[in-house]
Homo-oligomer: A and B are copies of this chain.
Amino acid sequence: MSEATAVSGARILAHVEALARCSEQSDGLTRVFLSEEHRAANELALRWMREAGMDARVDAMGNVVGRYEATRPGMPCLMLGSHLDTVRDAGKYDGMLGVVTAIECVHALHARGQRLPFALEVLGFGDEEGVRFGATLIGSRAVAGTFRREVLDAVDRDGISLREALRRFDLEPARIGEATKRREDVLAYAELHIEQGPVLEAEGLPVGVVTAISGANRYAVEIDGVAGHAGTVPMPLRQDAMAAAAECVLAVERRACAEPELVGTVGKLECLPGAVNVVPGRVKFTIDVRSPDDGARLAAAADLVREIQAICDRRGVQGRIAKTHEGKTAPCAGWLQAQIGEAIAAEGLPVRRLPSGAGHDGMAMIDLADIGMLFVRCEKGISHNPAEAITLADVETGARVFLRFIERFDPARKT
């Protein structure tokens, strides 16, 4: 296919590498919102957007926005994008691959002088990870119109507020409303992203269609037993907080295994006082439960709260369970899943549908427009880590599928 050969995996990777050099550390990649490195990354993206035939600018929240007009100007747009910020000591692809691939797709259309019946807008969001100010999705919330102004008072670790950081970035906090798009101007939002999980690799597939960005519940659990001497307290007289917590860890695992797309994790656990010869008196741990099905997630969370309480009651220890987060699922629109699936099938590949257990800008963009996502396989599912890796072949496959989706995008099929 002539249009398929027009995207260059090599150029995508070169651009990813160039962005990776915009880092606050020389021996790895960290780039936070409204930093000088962010400014440098925006400059690169603006240049590539203009080379791809787009009008490009930085919006009122520091996002880069490139617009490629339709056959006639002023038409509603298909929005494409991802984020340009990173976690600390990050990989190179999380976020950036989506921005760079979207630009590359427009570049391919521009190279052929091809215009579509709708405009394209490519967004490079300034904040998705939330590293600097502790609030995630600042960039996409500004575009979707759901940014809460109290976040302007959030401060980074140097005590600089978001309000002040915007000013230092030559942006005016009073004008951030100008970053918000009108719903009637947006046909849909589509994002390409690395999977950040092992499913596609395990099944030997380069790409997949995302069904939903899973909702999540998080809990902080504290169990208070009674500390004691490991030699002198007989087993029947113990109130061992660690043994109780171990039962809870296995209860989380067992409940999550009971349904196919549910996941449950005890990721953090502290055992106190923490000495080889002391029966643990206190254990603190976290629970993270996610599912693309809100009902399944809420039922599992409720079951676990009950089960942990029952374990603690039976063992004569005190359990305190505090919900620290609850976020609902952001479903990907069926009509966008269908069109992304068709683009994959047209490449002769099986269409694998899978949920995204990780959060993405679509969680904010869904308040503006229907969302769709294309996942690209990454090595061992590793992400948020310098070891994040992807093959050139998969970069090219992802870009070909994404371009095909864009070219054949049909907003009339929205149901």
CB distance from A199 to the nearest CB of B (A): 6
Q: Mark A266-279, 1 if CB is under 8 A from B, else 0.
A: 11111100111111
A278–B358 Cα gap in the complex (Å)? 11
From residue 209 to 255 of chain A, which have CB atoms closer than 8 A to chain B? 214, 216, 218, 226, 228-237, 240, 242-243, 245-247, 249-250, 253
Q: Is the CB of B253 within 8 A of A250?
A: no
Q: Which B residues are CB-close (under 8 A) to A59?
A: none
Minimum CB–CB distance from A259 to chain B (whole Å) comes to: 9
| Interface status of A206 (Cβ within 8 A of chain B) | no
Q: Which residues of B contact A250 (CB under 8 A)?
A: 243, 246-247, 250
Please, which residue of chain B has its CB at the minimum distance from the CB of A201?
B237
**Cβ 8 A contact of A202, one of B196, B237, B277:** B237
Tell me the bound Cα distance from A146 to B233 in angstroms: 30
- CB–CB A232/B195 < 8 A: yes
CA–CA, A229 and B278, complex, Å: 32
* Residue A383 lies at the interface, judged by CB distance under 8 Å to chain B: yes
Interface-centre pick from A226, A249, A356, A382 (highest chain B CB count, 10 A): A249
Q: Which residues of B sit under 8 angstroms from A357, Cβ to Cβ? A: 229-233
Q: State the interface size on chain A (CB cutoff 8 A).
A: 63
Q: How many Å lie between the Cα of A275 and that of B287 in the bound state?
A: 10
Task: Known contacts A237-B202, A250-B250; decide if A231 and B356 are in contact (CB<8 Å).
Answer: yes
The distance in angstroms between the C-alpha atoms of A384 and B202, with both chains bound, is 52
> A218 vs B275: C-alpha distance in the bound complex, in angstroms?
12
Please, how many angstroms separate the alpha-carbon atoms of A276 and B359 in the complex? 14
Whether A401 is near chain B, meaning CB under 8 Å from some CB there, is no
In the complex, what residue of chain B is closest to A324 when comparing beta carbons? B276
Counting CB contacts under 8 A, is A257 at the interface?
Answer: yes
Nearest CB on B from A232, distance (A): 3
Which residues from B are CB-within-8-Å of A240? 253, 265
**How many Å from the CB of A309 to the closest CB on chain B?**
18
A243 touching B253, Cβ below 8 Å: yes
Given A218-B276, A276-B218, A288-B276, are A232 and B381 also a contact pair (CB < 8 Å)?
yes
Q: In the bound complex, what is the Cα–Cα distance between A264 and B240 (angstroms)? A: 11
Check if B274 sits within 8 Å of A267, measured CB to CB.
yes
Measured CA separation A268–B237 after assembly (Å):
20
Tell whether A286 is near chain B: CB-to-CB under 8 Å. yes
* In the complex with contacts A231-B356, A247-B250, A250-B243, A279-B265 CB distance below 8 A: yes
Which residues of the other chain, B, contact A179 by a CB distance below 8 angstroms? none
Q: Residues of A at under 8 Å CB distance from B?
A: 195-199, 202, 214, 216, 218, 226, 228-237, 240, 242-243, 245-247, 249-250, 253, 256-257, 260-271, 274-280, 286, 288, 290, 324, 356-359, 380-384
- Given contacts A198-B234, A242-B269, A246-B266, could you give 7 more A-B pairs where the C-beta distance is less than 8 Å? A197-B228, A197-B229, A231-B263, A231-B358, A242-B266, A267-B274, A267-B276
A-B complex: 6 closest residue pairs judged by Cβ atoms: A231-B357, A197-B232, A246-B249, A230-B265, A246-B246, A232-B357
